[in-house]
Structure 1
Amino acid sequence: MDKKFIFLAILLLETSFKVANTEPTEDKRALLDFINNIYHSRPLNWDEKLSACSNWTGVTCNHDNSRIIALRLPAIGFRGPISSNTLSRLSAIQILSLRSNGISGPFPSDFSKLGNLTSIYLQSNNFSGLLPLDFSVWKNLSVLNLSNNAFNGSIPSSISNLTQLTSLSLGNNSLSGEIPDLNIPSLQLLDLTNNNLTGPVPLSLRRFPSSDFSGNDLSPENSAPPLPPILPPSAQPSKKSSKLGESAILGIIVGCCVLGFVLLDIQTCKSIGQEAAK
Protein backbone atom coordinates (compact mmCIF):
# COMPACT_ATOMS: atom_id res chain seq x y z
CA MET A 1 0.00 0.00 0.00
CA ASP A 2 2.82 2.36 0.89
CA LYS A 3 4.64 1.62 -2.36
CA LYS A 4 1.49 2.33 -4.37
CA PHE A 5 0.99 5.57 -2.50
CA ILE A 6 4.58 6.63 -3.13
CA PHE A 7 4.27 5.73 -6.81
CA LEU A 8 1.08 7.75 -7.21
CA ALA A 9 2.64 10.70 -5.39
CA ILE A 10 5.68 10.64 -7.66
CA LEU A 11 3.47 10.36 -10.75
CA LEU A 12 1.37 13.30 -9.57
CA LEU A 13 4.47 15.39 -8.94
CA GLU A 14 5.86 14.57 -12.38
CA THR A 15 2.57 15.47 -14.03
CA SER A 16 2.36 18.74 -12.10
CA PHE A 17 5.95 19.55 -13.02
CA LYS A 18 5.27 18.92 -16.70
CA VAL A 19 2.14 21.08 -16.66
CA ALA A 20 3.93 23.86 -14.81
CA ASN A 21 6.74 23.81 -17.37
CA THR A 22 4.59 23.49 -20.48
CA GLU A 23 5.38 26.15 -23.02
CA PRO A 24 3.69 26.81 -26.36
CA THR A 25 7.01 26.47 -28.14
CA GLU A 26 5.77 26.90 -31.70
CA ASP A 27 3.48 29.80 -30.83
CA LYS A 28 6.31 31.44 -28.94
CA ARG A 29 8.57 31.19 -31.98
CA ALA A 30 5.83 32.68 -34.19
CA LEU A 31 5.56 35.71 -31.88
CA LEU A 32 9.31 36.20 -31.86
CA ASP A 33 9.35 36.10 -35.67
CA PHE A 34 6.56 38.68 -35.69
CA ILE A 35 8.22 41.09 -33.28
CA ASN A 36 11.61 40.78 -34.95
CA ASN A 37 10.17 41.79 -38.32
CA ILE A 38 8.22 44.90 -37.39
CA TYR A 39 9.32 48.22 -35.92
CA HIS A 40 7.97 49.03 -32.46
CA SER A 41 8.81 52.09 -30.40
CA ARG A 42 7.92 50.53 -27.05
CA PRO A 43 10.09 47.72 -25.74
CA LEU A 44 8.51 44.38 -24.90
CA ASN A 45 9.73 41.93 -22.30
CA TRP A 46 9.59 39.06 -24.73
CA ASP A 47 12.67 37.22 -23.55
CA GLU A 48 12.96 33.82 -25.13
CA LYS A 49 14.22 32.43 -21.83
CA LEU A 50 11.09 33.53 -19.96
CA SER A 51 7.71 31.86 -20.00
CA ALA A 52 5.52 33.41 -22.69
CA CYS A 53 2.38 32.51 -20.75
CA SER A 54 3.54 34.00 -17.46
CA ASN A 55 5.89 36.82 -18.37
CA TRP A 56 5.28 38.12 -21.87
CA THR A 57 3.30 41.34 -22.22
CA GLY A 58 -0.06 40.96 -23.94
CA VAL A 59 0.04 37.17 -24.16
CA THR A 60 -2.66 34.89 -22.75
CA CYS A 61 -2.47 31.09 -22.88
CA ASN A 62 -5.03 28.35 -22.39
CA HIS A 63 -5.51 26.44 -19.13
CA ASP A 64 -2.54 24.11 -19.60
CA ASN A 65 -0.24 26.70 -21.22
CA SER A 66 0.03 24.61 -24.36
CA ARG A 67 -1.30 27.26 -26.77
CA ILE A 68 -1.57 31.04 -27.01
CA ILE A 69 -5.23 32.04 -27.26
CA ALA A 70 -5.06 35.85 -27.01
CA LEU A 71 -2.68 38.60 -28.08
CA ARG A 72 -3.36 42.15 -26.89
CA LEU A 73 -0.77 44.73 -27.95
CA PRO A 74 -2.50 48.13 -28.25
CA ALA A 75 -0.45 51.31 -28.74
CA ILE A 76 2.93 49.59 -28.82
CA GLY A 77 4.13 51.85 -31.61
CA PHE A 78 4.19 49.26 -34.38
CA ARG A 79 5.08 50.63 -37.80
CA GLY A 80 4.97 48.88 -41.16
CA PRO A 81 3.26 45.73 -42.43
CA ILE A 82 2.81 42.41 -40.65
CA SER A 83 5.20 39.87 -42.12
CA SER A 84 3.56 36.80 -43.58
CA ASN A 85 3.83 33.44 -41.83
CA THR A 86 4.25 34.98 -38.39
CA LEU A 87 1.00 35.68 -36.53
CA SER A 88 -0.82 33.36 -38.90
CA ARG A 89 0.90 30.45 -37.16
CA LEU A 90 -1.05 31.12 -33.95
CA SER A 91 -3.75 28.67 -35.03
CA ALA A 92 -5.43 28.53 -31.59
CA ILE A 93 -5.70 32.29 -31.11
CA GLN A 94 -9.16 33.61 -30.31
CA ILE A 95 -8.58 37.29 -29.53
CA LEU A 96 -6.27 39.49 -31.62
CA SER A 97 -5.92 43.14 -30.63
CA LEU A 98 -3.34 45.34 -32.38
CA ARG A 99 -5.38 48.55 -32.22
CA SER A 100 -3.97 52.08 -32.07
CA ASN A 101 -0.67 51.39 -33.78
CA GLY A 102 0.76 52.38 -37.15
CA ILE A 103 0.54 49.03 -38.90
CA SER A 104 0.29 49.48 -42.67
CA GLY A 105 -0.19 47.37 -45.76
CA PRO A 106 -3.14 45.17 -46.74
CA PHE A 107 -5.17 43.00 -44.43
CA PRO A 108 -2.88 39.94 -43.97
CA SER A 109 -4.21 37.29 -46.33
CA ASP A 110 -2.78 34.45 -44.25
CA PHE A 111 -5.03 35.44 -41.33
CA SER A 112 -7.50 33.14 -43.07
CA LYS A 113 -5.66 30.34 -41.25
CA LEU A 114 -6.83 31.70 -37.89
CA GLY A 115 -10.18 29.96 -37.90
CA ASN A 116 -10.66 30.14 -34.12
CA LEU A 117 -10.75 33.93 -33.93
CA THR A 118 -13.70 35.37 -32.02
CA SER A 119 -12.53 39.00 -31.80
CA ILE A 120 -10.44 41.11 -34.19
CA TYR A 121 -9.40 44.60 -33.08
CA LEU A 122 -7.31 46.28 -35.79
CA GLN A 123 -8.82 49.77 -35.56
CA SER A 124 -6.78 52.97 -35.68
CA ASN A 125 -3.93 51.74 -37.85
CA ASN A 126 -2.87 52.46 -41.43
CA PHE A 127 -4.18 49.34 -43.14
CA SER A 128 -5.21 49.86 -46.76
CA GLY A 129 -6.49 47.95 -49.77
CA LEU A 130 -9.50 45.68 -50.06
CA LEU A 131 -11.19 43.84 -47.24
CA PRO A 132 -10.97 40.03 -47.32
CA LEU A 133 -13.44 38.61 -49.81
CA ASP A 134 -14.44 35.61 -47.70
CA PHE A 135 -15.18 36.34 -44.06
CA SER A 136 -16.88 32.99 -43.55
CA VAL A 137 -13.53 31.45 -42.59
CA TRP A 138 -13.97 33.19 -39.21
CA LYS A 139 -17.27 31.50 -38.41
CA ASN A 140 -16.86 32.11 -34.65
CA LEU A 141 -16.26 35.84 -34.99
CA SER A 142 -18.33 38.02 -32.64
CA VAL A 143 -16.39 41.32 -32.81
CA LEU A 144 -14.86 42.84 -35.95
CA ASN A 145 -13.36 46.31 -35.64
CA LEU A 146 -11.46 47.63 -38.67
CA SER A 147 -12.42 51.29 -38.24
CA ASN A 148 -10.09 54.25 -38.68
CA ASN A 149 -7.92 52.75 -41.39
CA ALA A 150 -7.72 53.31 -45.16
CA PHE A 151 -9.54 50.25 -46.48
CA ASN A 152 -11.26 50.77 -49.84
CA GLY A 153 -13.51 48.85 -52.19
CA SER A 154 -16.86 47.36 -51.28
CA ILE A 155 -18.12 45.72 -48.11
CA PRO A 156 -18.01 41.95 -48.71
CA SER A 157 -21.41 40.28 -48.58
CA SER A 158 -19.74 37.27 -46.93
CA ILE A 159 -19.91 39.17 -43.63
CA SER A 160 -23.54 38.07 -43.53
CA ASN A 161 -22.27 34.52 -42.92
CA LEU A 162 -20.91 35.54 -39.50
CA THR A 163 -23.94 34.33 -37.59
CA GLN A 164 -22.39 35.05 -34.17
CA LEU A 165 -21.32 38.62 -34.96
CA THR A 166 -22.47 41.15 -32.35
CA SER A 167 -20.29 44.17 -33.23
CA LEU A 168 -19.24 45.42 -36.69
CA SER A 169 -17.16 48.61 -36.97
CA LEU A 170 -15.98 49.72 -40.42
CA GLY A 171 -16.26 53.48 -39.95
CA ASN A 172 -13.72 56.05 -41.12
CA ASN A 173 -12.34 54.16 -44.10
CA SER A 174 -12.76 54.70 -47.85
CA LEU A 175 -15.27 51.94 -48.52
CA SER A 176 -17.56 52.48 -51.51
CA GLY A 177 -20.54 50.95 -53.29
CA GLU A 178 -23.82 49.84 -51.79
CA ILE A 179 -24.19 48.26 -48.37
CA PRO A 180 -24.88 44.53 -48.76
CA ASP A 181 -27.84 42.89 -47.08
CA LEU A 182 -26.31 41.89 -43.74
CA ASN A 183 -29.10 39.89 -42.19
CA ILE A 184 -27.39 39.06 -38.89
CA PRO A 185 -29.93 38.86 -36.03
CA SER A 186 -27.15 38.76 -33.41
CA LEU A 187 -25.69 42.11 -34.55
CA GLN A 188 -26.07 44.75 -31.83
CA LEU A 189 -23.49 47.42 -32.68
CA LEU A 190 -22.87 48.86 -36.15
CA ASP A 191 -20.57 51.63 -37.38
CA LEU A 192 -20.36 52.40 -41.11
CA THR A 193 -19.82 56.15 -40.72
CA ASN A 194 -17.60 58.34 -42.88
CA ASN A 195 -17.05 56.19 -45.94
CA ASN A 196 -18.10 56.62 -49.59
CA LEU A 197 -21.10 54.31 -49.45
CA THR A 198 -24.08 54.91 -51.75
CA GLY A 199 -27.57 53.61 -52.32
CA PRO A 200 -30.28 52.74 -49.81
CA VAL A 201 -29.84 51.22 -46.38
CA PRO A 202 -30.82 47.53 -46.60
CA LEU A 203 -34.00 46.55 -44.79
CA SER A 204 -32.01 44.22 -42.54
CA LEU A 205 -30.06 47.19 -41.11
CA ARG A 206 -32.81 49.80 -40.79
CA ARG A 207 -33.22 48.93 -37.13
CA PHE A 208 -30.00 50.85 -36.45
CA PRO A 209 -30.04 54.65 -35.99
CA SER A 210 -29.18 56.91 -38.92
CA SER A 211 -26.10 58.10 -37.03
CA ASP A 212 -24.51 54.69 -37.70
CA PHE A 213 -24.52 55.55 -41.43
CA SER A 214 -23.66 59.26 -41.34
CA GLY A 215 -20.90 60.68 -43.52
CA ASN A 216 -21.92 58.70 -46.61
CA ASP A 217 -23.97 59.44 -49.73
CA LEU A 218 -26.84 57.13 -48.89
CA SER A 219 -30.48 57.39 -49.87
CA PRO A 220 -32.95 58.21 -47.09
CA GLU A 221 -32.94 55.42 -44.56
CA ASN A 222 -36.56 54.45 -45.11
CA SER A 223 -36.55 54.92 -48.87
CA ALA A 224 -38.65 52.51 -50.90
CA PRO A 225 -39.09 51.90 -54.63
CA PRO A 226 -41.24 54.68 -56.22
CA LEU A 227 -44.92 53.92 -56.61
CA PRO A 228 -46.47 53.95 -60.12
CA PRO A 229 -48.17 57.29 -61.00
CA ILE A 230 -51.81 57.56 -59.99
CA LEU A 231 -53.97 59.03 -62.76
CA PRO A 232 -56.79 61.45 -61.83
CA PRO A 233 -60.29 59.94 -61.71
CA SER A 234 -61.28 61.61 -65.01
CA ALA A 235 -58.36 59.98 -66.80
CA GLN A 236 -58.72 56.59 -65.14
CA PRO A 237 -62.44 55.98 -64.46
CA SER A 238 -63.54 52.78 -62.81
CA LYS A 239 -66.25 50.55 -64.23
CA LYS A 240 -68.58 51.52 -61.41
CA SER A 241 -68.06 55.24 -61.92
CA SER A 242 -68.52 54.76 -65.69
CA LYS A 243 -71.87 53.11 -65.11
CA LEU A 244 -72.91 55.88 -62.74
CA GLY A 245 -71.89 58.49 -65.31
CA GLU A 246 -73.92 56.83 -68.05
CA SER A 247 -76.99 56.59 -65.80
CA ALA A 248 -76.71 60.26 -64.87
CA ILE A 249 -76.50 61.31 -68.52
CA LEU A 250 -79.49 59.14 -69.42
CA GLY A 251 -81.46 60.60 -66.52
CA ILE A 252 -80.68 64.13 -67.65
CA ILE A 253 -81.84 63.33 -71.21
CA VAL A 254 -85.08 61.76 -69.97
CA GLY A 255 -85.67 64.70 -67.64
CA CYS A 256 -85.15 67.18 -70.44
CA CYS A 257 -87.60 65.26 -72.65
CA VAL A 258 -90.26 65.21 -69.91
CA LEU A 259 -89.75 68.89 -69.25
CA GLY A 260 -90.08 69.59 -72.98
CA PHE A 261 -93.36 67.67 -73.17
CA VAL A 262 -94.69 69.51 -70.10
CA LEU A 263 -93.80 72.90 -71.56
CA LEU A 264 -95.31 71.91 -74.91
CA ASP A 265 -98.49 70.78 -73.19
CA ILE A 266 -98.73 74.05 -71.24
CA GLN A 267 -98.22 76.05 -74.43
CA THR A 268 -100.91 74.03 -76.22
CA CYS A 269 -103.41 74.55 -73.41
CA LYS A 270 -102.64 78.26 -73.38
CA SER A 271 -103.25 78.50 -77.13
CA ILE A 272 -106.59 76.68 -76.87
CA GLY A 273 -107.69 79.00 -74.06
CA GLN A 274 -106.86 82.04 -76.12
CA GLU A 275 -108.84 80.70 -79.11
CA ALA A 276 -111.85 80.02 -76.90
CA ALA A 277 -111.74 83.57 -75.53
CA LYS A 278 -112.02 84.99 -79.03
Structure 2
Amino acid sequence: MALLSPSFIFSTFFYSILFSSSVFAGNNTQKGIQEHFSALLHLKHGFNFSEKASTNLSSWDLNDTDCCVWGGIGCDGDNSHVISIDLSNRRISGRIDFESLFRLQSLQSLNLASNYFNPSPFSPGFNQNLSSLRELSLDWINISMQGSEWVQALFLSVPHLRDLSLRYCGLSGPIHSSLSKLHFLKSKLDLSNNNLSGSLPSFLVNLSKLEYLDLSFNSFSGPIPSSYGNEFRNKLGGGLDVIHNASSSQLEYIYLGNNYLQGMVSFIFKLVKLSSISLPFNNFSGVVEVGSFQTLKSLFSLSFR
Protein backbone atom coordinates (compact mmCIF):
# COMPACT_ATOMS: atom_id res chain seq x y z
CA MET A 1 0.00 0.00 0.00
CA ALA A 2 1.45 3.34 -1.10
CA LEU A 3 2.05 5.96 1.57
CA LEU A 4 0.78 9.51 1.03
CA SER A 5 3.51 12.09 0.93
CA PRO A 6 3.55 14.84 3.59
CA SER A 7 3.31 17.51 0.88
CA PHE A 8 0.16 15.89 -0.52
CA ILE A 9 -1.42 15.68 2.93
CA PHE A 10 -0.57 19.35 3.65
CA SER A 11 -1.92 20.52 0.28
CA THR A 12 -5.17 18.60 0.76
CA PHE A 13 -5.59 20.01 4.26
CA PHE A 14 -4.81 23.56 3.09
CA TYR A 15 -7.32 23.54 0.23
CA SER A 16 -9.97 21.96 2.44
CA ILE A 17 -9.59 24.85 4.88
CA LEU A 18 -9.61 27.37 2.02
CA PHE A 19 -12.77 25.85 0.52
CA SER A 20 -14.52 25.80 3.91
CA SER A 21 -13.58 29.44 4.52
CA SER A 22 -14.91 30.44 1.09
CA VAL A 23 -18.20 28.66 1.72
CA PHE A 24 -18.45 30.27 5.17
CA ALA A 25 -17.69 33.73 3.77
CA GLY A 26 -20.18 33.19 0.97
CA ASN A 27 -22.88 32.20 3.43
CA ASN A 28 -22.17 35.28 5.54
CA THR A 29 -22.28 37.51 2.45
CA GLN A 30 -25.60 36.01 1.40
CA LYS A 31 -27.00 36.34 4.90
CA GLY A 32 -25.94 40.00 5.10
CA ILE A 33 -27.51 41.06 1.81
CA GLN A 34 -30.71 39.12 2.58
CA GLU A 35 -31.00 41.03 5.85
CA HIS A 36 -30.64 44.31 3.98
CA PHE A 37 -33.11 43.18 1.31
CA SER A 38 -35.71 42.59 4.01
CA ALA A 39 -34.96 45.89 5.79
CA LEU A 40 -35.32 47.91 2.57
CA LEU A 41 -38.68 46.33 1.72
CA HIS A 42 -39.96 47.17 5.20
CA LEU A 43 -38.64 50.72 4.78
CA LYS A 44 -40.48 51.04 1.45
CA HIS A 45 -43.69 49.78 3.04
CA GLY A 46 -43.98 52.95 5.14
CA PHE A 47 -43.69 55.28 2.13
CA ASN A 48 -46.38 56.79 -0.05
CA PHE A 49 -45.16 57.62 -3.54
CA SER A 50 -46.02 57.89 -7.20
CA GLU A 51 -44.62 55.16 -9.43
CA LYS A 52 -43.90 57.81 -12.07
CA ALA A 53 -42.12 60.28 -9.79
CA SER A 54 -40.33 57.70 -7.65
CA THR A 55 -38.78 55.39 -10.22
CA ASN A 56 -36.09 54.43 -7.69
CA LEU A 57 -38.61 52.99 -5.26
CA SER A 58 -40.52 51.30 -8.06
CA SER A 59 -37.51 49.06 -8.65
CA TRP A 60 -37.53 47.85 -5.02
CA ASP A 61 -39.26 44.60 -5.93
CA LEU A 62 -39.91 41.53 -3.77
CA ASN A 63 -39.24 39.34 -6.82
CA ASP A 64 -35.80 40.86 -7.42
CA THR A 65 -33.70 39.69 -4.50
CA ASP A 66 -30.56 41.49 -5.67
CA CYS A 67 -31.22 44.79 -3.90
CA CYS A 68 -27.80 46.09 -5.01
CA VAL A 69 -29.28 46.80 -8.47
CA TRP A 70 -32.30 48.67 -7.10
CA GLY A 71 -32.60 52.36 -7.89
CA GLY A 72 -30.91 54.64 -5.36
CA ILE A 73 -29.07 51.77 -3.67
CA GLY A 74 -25.30 51.39 -3.51
CA CYS A 75 -23.45 48.33 -2.19
CA ASP A 76 -19.88 47.55 -1.24
CA GLY A 77 -17.41 45.87 -3.59
CA ASP A 78 -18.60 42.31 -3.10
CA ASN A 79 -22.31 43.24 -2.95
CA SER A 80 -22.61 41.94 0.59
CA HIS A 81 -23.84 45.14 2.32
CA VAL A 82 -25.89 48.20 1.41
CA ILE A 83 -23.72 51.27 2.01
CA SER A 84 -25.74 54.11 0.41
CA ILE A 85 -29.36 55.16 -0.13
CA ASP A 86 -30.35 58.11 -2.30
CA LEU A 87 -34.08 58.83 -2.50
CA SER A 88 -33.77 62.59 -2.86
CA ASN A 89 -36.44 64.61 -4.66
CA ARG A 90 -38.81 61.66 -5.21
CA ARG A 91 -41.98 63.21 -3.77
CA ILE A 92 -42.15 60.58 -1.07
CA SER A 93 -44.48 61.04 1.87
CA GLY A 94 -45.46 58.83 4.78
CA ARG A 95 -43.32 57.61 7.62
CA ILE A 96 -39.75 56.38 7.99
CA ASP A 97 -39.58 52.89 9.51
CA PHE A 98 -36.70 53.59 11.89
CA GLU A 99 -36.48 49.99 13.06
CA SER A 100 -35.76 48.90 9.47
CA LEU A 101 -33.41 51.82 8.80
CA PHE A 102 -31.24 50.99 11.82
CA ARG A 103 -30.91 47.39 10.62
CA LEU A 104 -28.69 48.75 7.82
CA GLN A 105 -25.62 48.88 10.04
CA SER A 106 -23.19 49.23 7.10
CA LEU A 107 -24.91 52.34 5.74
CA GLN A 108 -22.43 55.15 5.03
CA SER A 109 -24.50 57.65 3.02
CA LEU A 110 -28.19 58.58 3.37
CA ASN A 111 -29.90 61.20 1.20
CA LEU A 112 -33.64 61.71 1.75
CA ALA A 113 -33.73 65.39 0.75
CA SER A 114 -36.80 67.10 -0.73
CA ASN A 115 -39.47 64.69 0.47
CA TYR A 116 -42.46 64.98 2.81
CA PHE A 117 -42.01 62.60 5.72
CA ASN A 118 -44.30 62.66 8.73
CA PRO A 119 -43.23 62.41 11.48
CA SER A 120 -39.87 64.05 10.88
CA PRO A 121 -36.62 62.08 10.60
CA PHE A 122 -35.65 63.09 14.16
CA SER A 123 -38.84 61.86 15.83
CA PRO A 124 -38.54 59.67 18.97
CA GLY A 125 -37.87 56.56 16.84
CA PHE A 126 -34.52 58.04 15.77
CA ASN A 127 -32.79 56.76 18.88
CA GLN A 128 -30.51 53.93 17.83
CA ASN A 129 -26.99 53.92 16.45
CA LEU A 130 -25.83 54.09 12.82
CA SER A 131 -22.14 54.37 13.60
CA SER A 132 -21.08 53.72 9.99
CA LEU A 133 -23.00 56.69 8.58
CA ARG A 134 -20.69 59.38 7.18
CA GLU A 135 -23.00 61.50 4.99
CA LEU A 136 -26.53 62.68 5.82
CA SER A 137 -28.67 65.00 3.70
CA LEU A 138 -32.19 65.93 4.78
CA ASP A 139 -32.55 69.25 2.93
CA TRP A 140 -36.08 70.59 2.44
CA ILE A 141 -37.60 68.15 4.93
CA ASN A 142 -39.78 69.77 7.57
CA ILE A 143 -38.07 68.89 10.82
CA SER A 144 -39.25 71.94 12.83
CA MET A 145 -37.29 71.26 15.98
CA GLN A 146 -35.46 73.31 18.56
CA GLY A 147 -31.67 73.15 18.55
CA SER A 148 -31.32 70.89 21.58
CA GLU A 149 -33.62 68.22 20.10
CA TRP A 150 -32.19 67.63 16.65
CA VAL A 151 -28.55 68.13 17.66
CA GLN A 152 -28.69 65.59 20.47
CA ALA A 153 -30.50 63.10 18.21
CA LEU A 154 -27.62 63.40 15.73
CA PHE A 155 -24.90 63.04 18.33
CA LEU A 156 -26.46 59.92 19.85
CA SER A 157 -27.39 58.15 16.59
CA VAL A 158 -24.82 59.17 13.98
CA PRO A 159 -21.69 60.21 15.91
CA HIS A 160 -19.23 59.72 13.03
CA LEU A 161 -20.78 62.04 10.45
CA ARG A 162 -18.38 63.84 8.11
CA ASP A 163 -20.95 65.60 5.91
CA LEU A 164 -24.23 67.04 7.22
CA SER A 165 -26.76 69.08 5.24
CA LEU A 166 -30.01 70.35 6.82
CA ARG A 167 -31.00 73.29 4.61
CA TYR A 168 -34.59 74.57 4.69
CA CYS A 169 -35.62 72.23 7.52
CA GLY A 170 -37.43 74.68 9.80
CA LEU A 171 -34.82 74.35 12.55
CA SER A 172 -35.10 76.99 15.27
CA GLY A 173 -33.54 78.25 18.47
CA PRO A 174 -29.84 78.33 19.39
CA ILE A 175 -27.53 75.55 18.21
CA HIS A 176 -26.99 73.15 21.07
CA SER A 177 -23.42 72.57 22.25
CA SER A 178 -23.73 68.83 21.52
CA LEU A 179 -22.97 69.68 17.89
CA SER A 180 -19.32 70.19 18.89
CA LYS A 181 -19.18 66.48 19.80
CA LEU A 182 -19.49 65.53 16.13
CA HIS A 183 -15.70 65.56 15.95
CA PHE A 184 -15.55 63.86 12.56
CA LEU A 185 -17.38 66.62 10.66
CA LYS A 186 -14.97 67.47 7.88
CA SER A 187 -16.44 67.88 4.42
CA LYS A 188 -19.50 70.04 5.04
CA LEU A 189 -21.85 71.48 7.63
CA ASP A 190 -24.78 73.26 5.99
CA LEU A 191 -27.53 74.63 8.23
CA SER A 192 -28.52 77.53 5.97
CA ASN A 193 -32.03 78.86 5.43
CA ASN A 194 -33.49 77.93 8.80
CA ASN A 195 -34.72 79.87 11.85
CA LEU A 196 -31.67 79.36 14.03
CA SER A 197 -31.07 82.23 16.44
CA GLY A 198 -28.93 83.48 19.29
CA SER A 199 -25.24 84.29 19.14
CA LEU A 200 -22.94 82.42 16.82
CA PRO A 201 -21.75 79.40 18.84
CA SER A 202 -18.11 79.71 19.81
CA PHE A 203 -17.79 75.92 20.09
CA LEU A 204 -18.03 75.54 16.31
CA VAL A 205 -14.41 76.65 16.12
CA ASN A 206 -13.51 73.22 17.49
CA LEU A 207 -14.59 71.70 14.17
CA SER A 208 -11.23 72.75 12.78
CA LYS A 209 -11.18 70.32 9.83
CA LEU A 210 -14.31 71.66 8.16
CA GLU A 211 -13.89 72.53 4.50
CA TYR A 212 -17.37 74.02 4.00
CA LEU A 213 -19.51 75.81 6.59
CA ASP A 214 -22.80 77.51 5.74
CA LEU A 215 -24.97 79.16 8.38
CA SER A 216 -26.46 81.79 6.09
CA PHE A 217 -30.05 83.05 6.10
CA ASN A 218 -30.71 82.42 9.78
CA SER A 219 -31.28 84.86 12.65
CA PHE A 220 -27.98 84.76 14.50
CA SER A 221 -27.01 88.03 16.18
CA GLY A 222 -24.10 89.65 17.96
CA PRO A 223 -20.40 89.81 17.18
CA ILE A 224 -18.32 86.98 15.79
CA PRO A 225 -16.56 85.25 18.73
CA SER A 226 -12.91 86.24 18.95
CA SER A 227 -11.93 82.56 19.16
CA TYR A 228 -12.94 81.88 15.59
CA GLY A 229 -10.27 80.94 13.08
CA ASN A 230 -12.64 79.71 10.39
CA GLU A 231 -16.19 80.94 10.93
CA PHE A 232 -18.75 82.49 8.68
CA ARG A 233 -21.87 84.12 7.37
CA ASN A 234 -24.93 85.41 9.20
CA LYS A 235 -26.86 88.42 10.44
CA LEU A 236 -23.93 89.41 12.62
CA GLY A 237 -22.83 92.84 13.72
CA GLY A 238 -19.16 93.58 14.19
CA GLY A 239 -16.14 93.33 11.98
CA LEU A 240 -14.59 90.16 10.68
CA ASP A 241 -11.03 91.21 11.45
CA VAL A 242 -11.41 89.66 14.91
CA ILE A 243 -10.80 86.26 13.32
CA HIS A 244 -7.54 84.70 14.54
CA ASN A 245 -5.46 81.70 13.46
CA ALA A 246 -7.26 81.67 10.12
CA SER A 247 -4.16 80.45 8.28
CA SER A 248 -4.73 76.97 9.77
CA SER A 249 -8.28 76.77 8.40
CA GLN A 250 -9.19 73.99 5.97
CA LEU A 251 -12.05 76.02 4.50
CA GLU A 252 -12.22 76.23 0.73
CA TYR A 253 -15.59 77.94 0.24
CA ILE A 254 -17.00 81.11 1.85
CA TYR A 255 -20.43 82.45 0.97
CA LEU A 256 -21.32 85.42 3.17
CA GLY A 257 -23.89 87.18 1.04
CA ASN A 258 -27.22 88.64 2.16
CA ASN A 259 -26.30 89.34 5.77
CA TYR A 260 -25.46 92.28 8.03
CA LEU A 261 -21.71 91.78 8.33
CA GLN A 262 -19.56 94.83 8.96
CA GLY A 263 -15.95 95.93 9.03
CA MET A 264 -12.96 95.02 6.89
CA VAL A 265 -12.69 91.84 4.84
CA SER A 266 -8.93 91.35 5.20
CA PHE A 267 -9.56 88.13 7.18
CA ILE A 268 -10.13 86.27 3.90
CA PHE A 269 -6.48 86.66 2.94
CA LYS A 270 -5.50 84.49 5.91
CA LEU A 271 -7.72 81.62 4.66
CA VAL A 272 -5.08 80.42 2.26
CA LYS A 273 -7.01 77.39 0.96
CA LEU A 274 -9.98 79.39 -0.31
CA SER A 275 -11.08 78.71 -3.86
CA SER A 276 -14.41 80.59 -3.92
CA ILE A 277 -15.52 83.80 -2.14
CA SER A 278 -18.93 85.50 -2.29
CA LEU A 279 -19.62 88.56 -0.09
CA PRO A 280 -22.49 90.56 -1.68
CA PHE A 281 -25.21 92.51 0.18
CA ASN A 282 -23.35 93.25 3.41
CA ASN A 283 -21.99 96.38 5.10
CA PHE A 284 -18.27 95.88 4.65
CA SER A 285 -16.05 98.92 4.50
CA GLY A 286 -12.46 99.90 3.80
CA VAL A 287 -10.08 99.41 0.90
CA VAL A 288 -8.84 96.07 -0.41
CA GLU A 289 -5.49 96.07 -2.18
CA VAL A 290 -5.60 93.97 -5.35
CA GLY A 291 -2.17 92.57 -4.55
CA SER A 292 -3.54 90.99 -1.38
CA PHE A 293 -5.25 88.31 -3.46
CA GLN A 294 -1.84 86.87 -4.36
CA THR A 295 -1.91 84.96 -1.07
CA LEU A 296 -4.95 83.00 -2.28
CA LYS A 297 -3.25 80.69 -4.75
CA SER A 298 -6.33 78.47 -5.28
CA LEU A 299 -8.87 81.25 -5.79
CA PHE A 300 -10.99 80.90 -8.94
CA SER A 301 -14.26 82.69 -8.05
CA LEU A 302 -14.76 86.09 -6.41
CA SER A 303 -17.94 88.16 -5.94
CA PHE A 304 -18.51 91.34 -3.95
CA ARG A 305 -21.88 92.22 -5.42
Is residue 60–residue 67 contact of structure 2 (8 Å, CA) maintained in 1?
no
**Cα deviations by residue, 1:24-72 (Å, 9 ceiling, x for unpaired):** 2333222212211121221421112323443211222234444322111
Match of 1:207, SS? coil
- Aligned to 2:85, the other structure's residue is in SS state strand
Kindly state the Cα deviation for residue 107 of structure 1 after the two structures are TM-superposed.
3.6
Deviations 1:81-110, CA, capped at 9 Å, x for gaps: 424423133222111111222334434242
- 2:131 alignment counterpart: 115
- Output the TM-score relative to the length of structure 1: 0.66
- Correspondence 1:33 to 2:47: no
Picking from 137, 155, 158, the partner of 1:136 is: 155
| CA shift digits 1:93-129 (9 cap, x unpaired) | 1111112223344342425421221111111222222
2:192 corresponding residue in structure 1: 171
Identify if the C-alpha distance between structure 1 residues 221 and 59 changes in structure 2 by more than 3 Å, giving closer, same or farther.
farther
2:142 equivalent to 1:126 = yes
Cα distance in 1 for partners of 2:172, 2:99 equals 24
Distance 2:75 2:136 in 1: 17
Give the 3-state SS of the residue equivalent to 1:129 in structure 2.
Answer: coil
CA RMSD across the alignment: 3.1
Q: Decide which moves more: 127-136 or 148-157.
A: 127-136
Q: 1:67 aligns with which of 76, 81, 87?
A: 81
CA pair 202-188 structure 1, distance change in 2 beyond 3 A: farther
Q: CA separation in 1, counterparts of 2:105 and 2:23?
A: 28
Query: After TM superposition, what 4+ stretches of structure 1 lie above 6 angstroms from structure 2?
Result: none
Residue of structure 1 in register with 2:238 after alignment: 220
Separation in 2 of the partners of 1:127 and 1:80?
A: 14
Aligned-pair identity in percent equals: 29
Q: Structure 1 residues 187-196 or 175-184, which shifts more?
A: 175-184
- The 1-side partners of 2:168 and 2:113 are apart by 10
| Unpaired stretches in structure 2, ≥5 consecutive residues | 1-7, 243-305
Which whole-Å CA distance do the structure 2 matches of 1:158 and 1:80 have between them? 29
- Where does residue 211 of structure 2 map in the other structure? 188
In structure 2, what residue type is equivalent to 1:24?
A: I
Structure 2: how far apart are the matches of 1:10 and 1:17?
Answer: 10
Tell me which of 226, 241, 262 is aligned to 1:203.
Answer: 226
For the pair shown, which has the larger CA radius of gyration, 1 or 2?
1
Instruction: Say whether residues 1:56 and 2:56 are aligned partners.
Output: no
* Structure 1 residues without counterparts, runs of 5 or longer: 225-278
Partner of 1:148: 168
Per the normalisation by structure 2, the TM-score is 0.61
Give the match for residue 256 of structure 2. none
Which whole-Å CA distance do the structure 1 matches of 2:107 and 2:185 have between them?
17
